[in-house]
Amino acid sequence: MSLVQTTLAMILSVNGIGQQAPDAMGTANPPTQVRISYGEDPTRMMRVVWQTKTPTPSLVVKYGTSEKLEQMAVGSRPTYAYETGALAEATLYNLKPNTTYFYRCGSDQGGWSDVQSFRTAEPNPSSFVFTAFGDHGISPDAVKNVENVLFEKPAFHLLLGDISYANGNQPIWDSYLSQIEPMTRSVPYMLAYGNHENERITVDEKQVRIGYVATLARFAMPGFEQCYTFDYGNARFVTFNSDDYTNPIQQNWLDQTLAEARRDKKVKWLIVFEHHPLYASSKGRDNNVGLIKAISPILDKYKVDLVLSGHDHHYERNYPMRADKVTSKSKNKYKKGEGTLYVIQGGGGKSLYDFTDPMPDNCAFREKVNGYMRITVPRKGSLKIEAKRVDRSIMEVIEITE
């Protein structure tokens, strides 16, 4: 089956159509929506999350460097008040860096997932690739972007917030997580929290905010989950919840985290990913003045190299900025440190937004199309940023030179 057919079959299955009857062993409660994400140390830790229809007596990941799966991790069961099934989460510790592992999750009582594989992070790679987009949801383009990530074979994928667009309707999470499973069972999927993760439900015809409970239960991000950091090679990735940017605790965390990154001699590239763009020319939205005022001085202070955002459903990229001013009008080649490059890739798969007219002076390139980022981080030499359309054609290529 094609990925689209497979995805539709999985969505039907999640919705209770086409589910198998129990077999002779009574095992018709197998894991669905299998996904992996890095732990605090991507070279040595991986988290596995899955869901079954009903709770099973045990929650296990069997894993190993061969398909014999000779190691075992016992999981726990995250819960939330509006859950649609039984979630399970397990952490694999003390993995070998730069190593392919095979795994399956589930239980003897409920059944097992197929054997999948992943690769732990390489501590000092000559180069690595990651992909990114935000504002994903359920749509034909969202499925194509899942295929695009698999095509690019990245070390990991960054989802720049606004994930499922469940908007309180919890079964939509199941459909979405089934849609992306072909990617998430083998590519570590790392989140930034967006405004659509802050959900509401209807109770007695009134809207009641339930907040981030679904995202917190359904994913297993490092650290505080809404703000965290991880390293791959010579790059440090930092995210924070941009919907909560005025929170002084989070602002202090961001300042201290970026300061620590710049003190660490191993860190060359400092990359922030978060949901709301600072600089934007989406019609009716424009710049986020509050975010610029609160956050850009912190990003400037530590000379963050790249900021990846979503929220606006299209592609837009600024010239490098420092102290609210453009620092280079070069077309697509910049010197490291001369400014922070702000990129919006909110074209994960939702309907697209228009731009303001005319294009603002600080905007270098923009295009109303769904797409994704493919970014190559070398040990030596230039950071290469490729902005691609959903059909994989290239919009632009940007270099940040040493």
Min CB(312)–Fe ion separation in Å: 8
DSSP secondary structure, 29-96, as one string: ---EEEEEEE-SSTTT-EEEEEEESS--S--EEEEESSTT--EEEE-B----TT-SSEEEEEEE-SPP
Closest distance to Fe ion from the beta carbon of 275 (Å): 6
CB hemisphere CA count around 312 (13 angstroms): 28
Of 73-81, 182-190, 265-273, 307-315, the segment contacting Fe ion by CB under 5 A is: 307-315
Cβ closest to Fe ion, residue 162 vs residue 231: 162
Q: What is the DSSP string of 74-85?
A: E-B----TT-SS
Least gap, CB of 28 to Fe ion (angstroms):
38
- Residue number with CB closer to Fe ion (162 or 274): 162
> 184 or 288: whose CB is closer to Fe ion?
288
**Residue 54 Cβ, how far from Fe ion at the closest point, in Å?**
34
Phi first, then psi: what are they for 364, rounded to 5°?
-95, -30
**Helix extents (H) in 87-229:** 140-152, 171-179, 181-184, 213-218
To Fe ion, the closest distance from the beta carbon of 242 in angstroms equals: 9
CA distances to 48, 242, 243, 273 from 226, rounded to whole Å, are 18, 9, 10, 12
Phi-psi region of 296 (alpha: psi -120 to 50; beta: other; left: phi over 0): alpha
* Cis amide prior to 30 (ω within 30 degrees): no
When binding is defined by CB under 5 A, the residue of 311, 313, 350, 388 that contacts Fe ion is 311
Using the 8-state DSSP alphabet, how is residue 293 labeled?
H
Least distance CB 346 / Fe ion (angstroms): 7
* Cα–Cα distance for residue pair 140/8, rounded to 1 Å: 11
* CA gap 9, 251 in Å, rounded: 44
How far apart, in whole angstroms, are the C-alpha atoms of residue 53 and residue 183?
21
Among 71, 91, 195, 376, binds Fe ion (CB under 5 A): 195
Radius of gyration from C-alpha coordinates of the chain: 21
Nearer to Fe ion, 75 or 194 (CB): 194
Stretch that binds Fe ion, among 141-149, 207-215, 303-311, 364-372 (CB under 5 A): 303-311
Closest approach, Cβ 262 to Fe ion, in A, equals 29
194 is a contact residue toward Fe ion (CB under 5 A): yes
CB 278, min distance to Fe ion, A: 14
Query: DSSP 3-state helix, strand, coil percentages of the chain (rounded to 5)?
Result: 20, 35, 45
- Between 193 and 230, whose beta carbon lies closer to Fe ion? 193
Identity of the residue, 197 or 231, whose beta carbon is nearer to Fe ion in the bound complex: 197
Does 243 bind Fe ion (CB under 5 A)? Our answer is no
Site for Fe ion in 150-169 (CB under 5 A): 162
Identify which range of 48-56, 170-178, 189-197, 294-302 contacts Fe ion by CB under 5 A.
189-197
| By the rule CB under 5 A, 134 interacts with Fe ion | no
Q: Considering CB under 5 A, how many residues would be counted as binding Fe ion?
A: 4
CB of 276 to Fe ion, least distance (A): 7
Determine the interface stretch with Fe ion among 90-98, 194-202, 296-304, 351-359 (rule: CB under 5 A): 194-202
For Fe ion, which residue has the nearest CB? 311
Cβ distance to Fe ion smaller for residue 33 or 241: 241
Question: Amino acid identity of 145?
Answer: N
Q: Which is nearer to Fe ion, 162 or 305 (CB)?
A: 162
Q: How far is CA 82 from CA 50, 63, 124, 211, 217, in A?
A: 16, 31, 42, 12, 10
Q: Which residues bind Fe ion (CB under 5 A)?
A: 162, 194-195, 311
